[in-house]
């Protein structure tokens, strides 16, 4: 089986978010970048599937040169090779075009990615790629088993989940508990250094343009209610906050 896993390089979940250049650029200073947590689930399941069924596992990142540390970590975890599309992924449509262009040439059986990136949270790239390739797309997938050319999956829906069967090829957006996150071992880290990483230039253009970034208005002080007067809360919610 030929598997592609698309990964993002995103600020650590605990990172303090701020902007520079008149609120037109993300401030990278002091921020640690990690593999997108959902992408990590996708990669971990892909490594398991490759162990079971054989084949190849490629990671793809649409990102600038500084995402190569994330790509190397994915190679250390078990991907065979990597492709980086050399541009800043600012627009879902544009990002999907990059993935679909490569996938149309390489004809993967399975394309996995996180359900969404944790920077832009769009959650639409898998669907865009699926339609661009003319194959089904499903997300968020929390369980994936491959039996020959059939995939059996569980997808989370509002208030529950559904079981799905479909033939490969497929594009899937993944989330927990599809697999346990894998940590690279020393041998993986050593071999990752020499695994092939191909850099290609992007095609097409952005369909959206981010004009300005903003931080939320600071939260007002928390109104503390003494435990013995806890019932007063209900009155405040009704008359003051007007949410009941």
* Closer residue to other proteins in complex, CB, 201/240: 240
* Closer residue to other proteins in complex, CB, 187/219: 219
Q: How far apart are CA 196 and CA 41, in angstroms?
A: 23
Nearest distance, CB of residue 2 and other proteins, angstroms = 20
* Closer residue to other proteins in complex, CB, 147/165: 165
DSSP state letters, 59-79:
EEEEE-GGGHHHHHHHHHHT-
* Closer residue to other proteins in complex, CB, 203/244: 244
Nearest distance, CB of residue 28 and other proteins, angstroms = 13
Among 126, 164, 123, 125, residue whose Cα is nearest residue 145: 164
Tell me the residue ranges of DSSP E strands in 87-149. Answer: 110-114, 137-147
* Closer residue to other proteins in complex, CB, 37/50: 37
44 in helix, strand or coil? helix
Nearest distance, CB of residue 57 and other proteins, angstroms = 23
* Closer residue to other proteins in complex, CB, 163/201: 163
Q: At what angle do helices 92-106 and 125-133 cross, to 10 degrees?
A: 40
Nearest distance, CB of residue 124 and other proteins, angstroms = 4
Nearest distance, CB of residue 242 and other proteins, angstroms = 9
Strands 81-86 and 197-200: parallel
Phi, psi angles (nearest 5°) of residue 127 = -65, -45
Q: How far apart are CA 126 and CA 137, in angstroms?
A: 6
DSSP assignment letter at 24: T
Q: How far apart are CA 148 and CA 86, in angstroms?
A: 35
Nearest distance, CB of residue 192 and other proteins, angstroms = 25
């Amino acid at each position: 089986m030929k598997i592609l896993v698309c990964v993002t390089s995103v600020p650590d979940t605990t990172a303090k978010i701020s902007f520079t250049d008149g609120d037109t650029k993300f401030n990278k200073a002091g921020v640690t970048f990690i593999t997108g947590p959902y992408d990590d689930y996708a990669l971990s399941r892909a490594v398991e599937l490759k162990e079971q069924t054989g084949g190849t596992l490629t990671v793809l990142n649409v990102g600038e040169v500084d995402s190569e540390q994330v790509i190397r970590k994915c190679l250390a975890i078990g991907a065979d090779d990597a492709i980086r599309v050399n541009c800043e992924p600012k627009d879902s449509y544009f990002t999907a075009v990059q993935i679909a262009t490569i996938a149309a040439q390489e004809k993967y059986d399975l394309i996995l990615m996180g359900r969404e990136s944790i920077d832009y949270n769009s959650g639409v790239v898998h669907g865009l790629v699926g339609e661009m390739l003319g194959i089904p797309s499903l997300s968020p997938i929390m369980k994936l088993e491959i039996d020959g050319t059939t995939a059996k999956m569980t997808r989370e829906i509002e208030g529950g989940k559904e079981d799905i069967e479909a033939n490969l090829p497929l594009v899937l957006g993944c989330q927990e508990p599809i697999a346990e996150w894998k940590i690279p071992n020393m041998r993986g880290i050593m071999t990752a250094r020499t695994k092939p990483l191909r850099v290609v230039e992007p095609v097409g253009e952005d369909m959206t343009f981010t004009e300005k970034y903003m931080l939320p208005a600071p939260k007002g002080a928390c109104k503390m209610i003494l435990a013995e007067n806890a019932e007063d809360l209900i009155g405040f919610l009704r008359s003051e906050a007007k949410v009941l």
